[in-house]
Amino acid sequence: MQDLSNKTAAVVSLAPANRTADANGTGIDLQFWESALVIAQAGAEGDTLSGSVYIQFKLEHSDDDSTYTAVAQADVADGTVSSGVFATIDANGEAPSVHQLSYIGGKRYIRVVDDRTGTHTNGTPTSAVVVKGNPRHV
C-alpha cells in the first residue's frame, strides 16, 4: 500500500451548510498541482424536489480568482458537463448523494457552485471538496 496523503491536499470549496439559496464556493488555487478531483455532496432534501424545484452543482474556473466561467466537457476527464453543470438533483430519493469529476482544464482556480431553481423553503445541506493531486514538487 502506498502513501496517498503526501500526494494530495483536500480543500473545502463549499462549506457544509443547509442552504435555501444559490452559493458560490471558495476558489481553489491549483498552482503547483497537476490534477484535481471535485467531490460535491447533497444531504437529505428538506423540500420536495421536482422539475421546477431542484439543485445543480456547477464547476467554474478562472485565471485570476475573480472572473469565473463554466467549465466545458473538454475541461473534465470523467463525467458529463453541460454549461458547467455536473450534477442535477431534481427528485426526492436522489439525495443524499455524492457526485465527482476530475478537472483537467488549464485554469489556475476552480470553484463549485450550488445553483438552486425554484423555492427552497426548508433547504438541503450541501458541500463540496476539491482534492488536489500530483504535486509538481514533493
Range of the domain at 119: 8-135
pLDDT (mean) for 13-28: 98
Characterize 3-17 residue by residue with b for buried, 16 or more Cβ atoms within 10 angstroms of its Cβ, and e for exposed.
eeeeebeeeebbeee
In this structure, are residues 98 and 38 in contact, taking their beta carbons and an 8 Å threshold?
no
Is 2 within a domain?
no
Q: pLDDT at position 138, please?
A: 63
pLDDT band at 136 (very low <50, low <70, confident <90, very high): confident
User: Is residue 34 in some structural domain?
Assistant: yes
At residue 74, what are phi and psi to the nearest 5 degrees? -65, -15
Number of domains in the chain: 1
At 11 the pLDDT is: 98
Mean pLDDT, the chain, as a whole number? 95
Answer yes or no: is 36 within a domain. Answer: yes
Model confidence at 22: pLDDT above 80: yes
89 lies in a domain? yes
Q: pTM of the prediction?
A: 0.94
In a domain, 29, yes or no: yes
CATH number at residue 62: 2.60.120.1110
